[in-house]
Structure 1
Amino acid sequence: MEYIYPTYYNNFHCIADACPKTCCAGWQIEIDEDALERYRQLQIDTVDYREAAFLQDEKKRCKNLDEQGLCRLIHAHGEEILCDTCRLFPRHTEVFDGVRELSLSISCPEVARMILTNSDNVVFTTEERVEKETEAYTEEERIVYRQLRQLRDWMLPVAQNRSLSLEQRFAKILSVVQVYQEQVDFCVEEEQPFEAISIADVLTTVVKPLDISKTMIHTILAVADEWEYTEPELQEIFDATDAYLQLLSDEDFSQARKHLSEALQKQGIALPATLEQIYIYFLFAYFCGSVYDEYYFGQAQLAVAACYHIEAILLWHFGKYKSIGMEDIIRYTYLYARELEHSIPNILATEAYMDEHRMI
């Protein structure tokens, strides 16, 4: 079995009660069957056994949390009592034929800090482990995953090529994936084998320009209207952000982006490099997973849109408060990721929306 993960993966350590946004609140914590049986035998009363999930209080906090934000189950029974969700989070695994891709969810504040404060290129580790494949895959899934993997192996160094502007990098990537999507769609419509697609030819695609305008940002922000929210905070931030941007002229918008970048640069924070880290995260964590829903271009655009969604929020914050720092970037990033990543309907809605509303 091949395992792939960013080199920082094994550096994560939960900061427990020091965490500014506990992972034990705001979403339903599902319990695996083995853990559910353990809880049943111990007569744990904080479990909804019918729903196979932990009960929550009126603030949507897991009922196992004590006043200090620590887990009563761990205190009483040790860490071995945990269900898979609690034991593994924020660790995330994407499953493919003979491959496991491991990442850390940026919806965790500590992971967001690790990722966003890194100014170097992200390096990935590949290792072989003696394991048998236990899942079943179609031949089509095997072929498409190999093709997506080839594309991503090309996309990662392009995305981290800082001799190009962020817009130039994104334009190259989106142009290529758009052509790949078109070729897959053609194969489906004409009942042609996917093996007929030449990734080498796809990579020679002529690059289309990417223009980040106020109108473009307004268009991609609109996808948030289709999301379901676990808490009202991010929805209110999105509404305030869009309202703020609508007050700006095109020239004001360009100047606001420039002033935001300059304000961060004075603190030693290069905004393009920070947005690059967000992009690399979403690209690695989810692009190849589009093999299972066929929104290859939509998923590629989702990763780009995530960067500009967060930049737009930062523009609103800086315009309102006249100050900005790394802690603000970290906070808005994990709030954003919590609403997107913790909801499959939100991910699917965003993929579909971005597939229809093309940035190039």
Structure 2
Amino acid sequence: MRYIKPGYYDDFVCIAGACPATCCAGWQIVIDEESLQTYGNVQGEFGRRLRNSIDWMEGCFYQYDRRCAFLNEENLCDLYRELGPKGLCATCSMYPRHVEEFEDLRELSLTLSCPEAARMILSCREKAEFITWETEEEDEFEDFDFFLFTLLSDARDVIFQILTDREKDLRIRMREVLFLAEDFQACIDREEFFAIDQVIEKYRHPTGAEIEKEGRYARRKQEFSVFRKLERLRSEWGTLLSDAWKNLYENGEEHYLELCGEFERSFGYESSVRGEWERMGEQLMVFFVYTYFCGAVYDDAVYSKMALAVFSTEWIQEFVMLVWLKKGKKLEFQDVVETAYRYAREVEHSDMNLEVLERWLEEHKT
């Protein structure tokens, strides 16, 4: 078995009670079967509390005011205090670590929805680095398309090469990888799989793309409409969307473009700190591509997965502009981190939201 992980993966340490947005609140925590059996056999007063705090029909912990029954006033876990790390269910012991499974390969990553993981990802200054190692484990996948996966993996290597080319404007890099995915998808749709190698080779040395500036207001308004189709996981997400519409789009295109221009000059692509802005965007793009792109081996949806990476990066940047505006046109690194993990909590933690976004992006291909 081969394993891959980002270079920063092993540096993650949960900051527990110091976390600004605990993972023990706001969503359902599903308990695996083995942990359910263990919890059913815990003795004493804590065992009684444990069993009374589980919805045994749903296989999850009860919540009170959207907080796990074991999350105490210090934002620490009473279950962990009582039973130690081995007492945690699989969900709690793994998060924010994530594993994507392919035949003879496991790809490890951290989840952007965790504030500390988001801080680590966005603070990386070096180009993306991945560590690979092998074990003697073996597994068998039925009907796994290894040929397509190899093509996807080769394409992703080229995509990382493009995304980390810091001689180019990040917006150009994002356009180039989107074009690559579009050409890759066209080959799949025509069932010309052996032409995909030519597509990959073509983009090893891309001739460049133009920065798309025209129609930004109309495009953002059109994209904004898809947020109304998504499942709402947190009430603050609805507040964020309302604020975005009111402050960014409601007053028309001229007002919006003036704000964009001022933001770009003060913090974004045209500012004196442009390198920092592009570096964080690059890290987001690499994260989304690493996490989702090769998953197209299961559904052939190459273009929509790349489009989702671009969409997510651009909308995190858009919401950062909103935060900048609401804070009196000031911005700190922590504001970017908070915006990123709040976006990820709404999108990445709902399979329905991911499916709706991918389908919408495929239907509205530009």
Same fold (TM over 0.5): yes
Q: Distance in 2 between matches of 1:207 and 1:182?
A: 20
Q: Distance in 2 between matches of 1:256 and 1:163?
A: 27
- Greater displacement, 163-172 / 298-307: 163-172
Structure-1 residue corresponding to 2:241: 238
> Which residue, out of 139, 148, 161, partners 2:165?
161
TM-score (norm 1): 0.91
User: Secondary structure in 2 aligned to 1:226?
Assistant: coil
> Which residue, out of 126, 143, 147, partners 1:143?
147
Give yes or no for contact 1:5–1:125 (8 Å, CA) kept in 2.
yes
Residues 25-70 of structure 1 show CA distances to partners (whole Å, capped at 9, x for unaligned) of 111111111111101112422211211111111x211101111111
User: Secondary structure in 1 aligned to 2:259?
Assistant: helix
Structure-2 residue corresponding to 1:38: 38
**Corresponding letter in the other structure for 2:340:** T
The 1:39/1:269 distance shift into structure 2, 3 A limit, reads farther
Residues 303-331 of structure 1 show CA distances to partners (whole Å, capped at 9, x for unaligned) of 00111111111222222322111111111
**Corresponding letter in the other structure for 2:196:** S
Q: Distance in 2 between matches of 1:293 and 1:89?
A: 26
- Give unmatched runs, 5+ long, in structure 2: none
The 1:120/1:253 distance shift into structure 2, 3 A limit, reads farther
> Which residue, out of 274, 296, 301, partners 1:295?
301
Q: Give the drift of 1:175.
A: 0.8
The answer on 1:21 being equivalent to 2:21 is: yes
- Greater displacement, 204-213 / 109-118: 204-213
The answer on 1:100 being equivalent to 2:103 is: no
Q: Distance in 1 between matches of 2:175 and 2:142?
A: 32
Q: Distance in 2 between matches of 1:325 and 1:283?
A: 26
User: Secondary structure in 2 aligned to 1:198?
Assistant: helix
1:299-318 matched pairs, under 5 angstroms: 299-318=305-324
Q: Distance in 2 between matches of 1:201 and 1:308?
A: 25
The 1:207/1:180 distance shift into structure 2, 3 A limit, reads farther
The answer on 1:351 being equivalent to 2:358 is: yes
Q: Distance in 2 between matches of 1:143 and 1:268?
A: 40
Q: Distance in 1 between matches of 2:20 and 2:306?
A: 30
Q: Give the drift of 1:284.
A: 0.5
Structure-1 residue corresponding to 2:198: 200
**Corresponding letter in the other structure for 1:339:** E
The 1:238/1:232 distance shift into structure 2, 3 A limit, reads same
Q: Distance in 1 between matches of 2:258 and 2:130?
A: 36
1:1-360 matched pairs, under 5 angstroms: 1-42=1-42, 43=47, 44-45=50-51, 46-57=53-64, 59-133=65-139, 135-139=140-144, 141-187=145-191, 194=193, 196-204=194-202, 209=210, 211-212=212-213, 213-247=216-250, 250=253, 252-264=255-267, 270-322=276-328, 323-358=330-365, 360=366
The 1:251/1:274 distance shift into structure 2, 3 A limit, reads farther
**Corresponding letter in the other structure for 1:137:** E
Q: Distance in 1 between matches of 2:241 and 2:290?
A: 25
Give yes or no for contact 2:184–2:199 (8 Å, CA) kept in 1.
no
Residues 101-157 of structure 1 show CA distances to partners (whole Å, capped at 9, x for unaligned) of 110001000011111122221211111122111x52314x32221111111010011
Aligned residues: 350
The 1:208/1:186 distance shift into structure 2, 3 A limit, reads farther
Q: Distance in 2 between matches of 1:269 and 1:98?
A: 38
The 1:119/1:125 distance shift into structure 2, 3 A limit, reads same
- Greater displacement, 1-10 / 111-120: 111-120
Give yes or no for contact 1:217–1:312 (8 Å, CA) kept in 2.
no
TM-score (norm 2): 0.90
Q: Distance in 2 between matches of 1:17 and 1:268?
A: 34
Residues 299-357 of structure 1 show CA distances to partners (whole Å, capped at 9, x for unaligned) of 10100011111111122222232211111111111000011111111111111111122
